[in-house]
Chains A and B, each alone.
Chain A
Amino acid sequence: MEVKVLRKVLDVNDTIAEQNRHYFEKKGVFVLNVMSAPGAGKTTILEKTLTSLMPKIKCAVIVGDICTTNDADRLSKSGVPVIQINTDQFGGDCHLAAHVIQRAASEIQLDGIDLLIIENIGNLVCPAEFDIGEHKRVVVLSVTEGEDKPVKYPLMFRVCHTALINKIDLLPYLDADIQLLRNNIAQINPEINQIELSAKTGIGFKEWITWIEDQIKLYQKTRNCA
């Protein structure tokens, strides 16, 4: 006997993600989901980003890792509230799922916060599949990773709104072809916003910070109109 089911496998996740988004909107918080492969430079980018945004824009951070609180320790030095999720305690996954964010968000004081940055677990595959209730998605790819990564992990580059091309200070020492990398990203997602930067030297940060500020303004404007 065949029984019709007709359900999305990730129905539960998607429902909770929608609840999260509603909660963030109630609090007036704009939420960025930042994803990348391990070692692309998410945490260093965030350290510099927080320093540039604060105190004008009030930030909070949720950091996901399988183990350790290293990233949270680094980021909390900037003075912003940081919650570390170790997925080992939450069901040990290679991505952050919506229910994990729901729990973490309830533990963080979001009143008066303009921007919540969620640093996802280092992985170019799984996080792309899971909506966590964010408003915009950012992928970080460093020039040391190889120009073909966008083509190898198309979903990640398809679902993101901005791609940060990091570690461009290393270009003189590499054979990396940044134009090829940019073309590969554009081939997967012609509408993605590409920003070249270096978390080490700070080059390119102005454009990145302006993008975040514009997104927050746009979010607050549409929220006030709603």
Chain B
Amino acid sequence: MSCSYETKNQYIKLNIMHEMGIALQIIDVAVRSIPKTNDQVQVEAVHLRIGKLSAVVPQSLTFCFDITKKDTPLANAKLQIEEIPITAKCRDCGHEMIITEAFFKCSQCQEGKLEILSGRELDIVSITLSDTER
């Protein structure tokens, strides 16, 4: 799939998966989170929380991130991904459970009215900046 994005005045044309768009969003959010007083700073790491139920493959995201980070303050940054399990609460019996297989049924009462509590996360928790003081 052909794709074009404008990033830092560069026009990149790439074959993409949707993780590419997500990688670009991560860079955008991270760059805007750098304190303005520190414009020389480099980002060393981006801490993400990615739910198991999100349609994001961590390896693909890392691959896309490594392509898109060039010529940005994140050029040397690594993605640190915390995978969040799918947890749910049964709306019938109130039982809370972790879902490890593609089977959305209450492990206690066997009913299927589950409220998903976690697993859809796609969050940037924090960024780590390089120490620029000499």
Contact = CB atoms under 8 A, between A and B. Distances in A.
Interface of A: 1-13, 66, 88, 91-95, 97, 125-126, 128-129, 150-152, 154-156, 158, 186-191
Contact of A9 (B104, B111, B113, B122): B122
B interface majority secondary structure:
mixed
Contacts of A92: 1-4, 16
Contacts of A6: 123-126
A103 to B, nearest CB: 16
Contacts of A156: 55
Interface of B: 1-5, 16-18, 21-22, 25-26, 29-30, 33-35, 48, 53-56, 102-105, 111-113, 116, 122-129, 131
B102 A188 contact: yes
A7 B22 CA distance: 13
Contacts of A150: 102
A156 B55 CA distance: 9
Say whether chain A's binding surface is mostly helix, strand, loop, or mixed. mixed
Given A9-B22, A91-B3, A3 B124 contact: no
The 7 closest A-B pairs by CB, nearest first: A190-B112, A92-B3, A126-B18, A129-B55, A151-B102, A5-B124, A154-B102
B128 A2 contact: yes
Contacts of B116: 158
B113 to A, nearest CB: 7
Contacts of A2: 126-129
B126 to A, nearest CB: 5
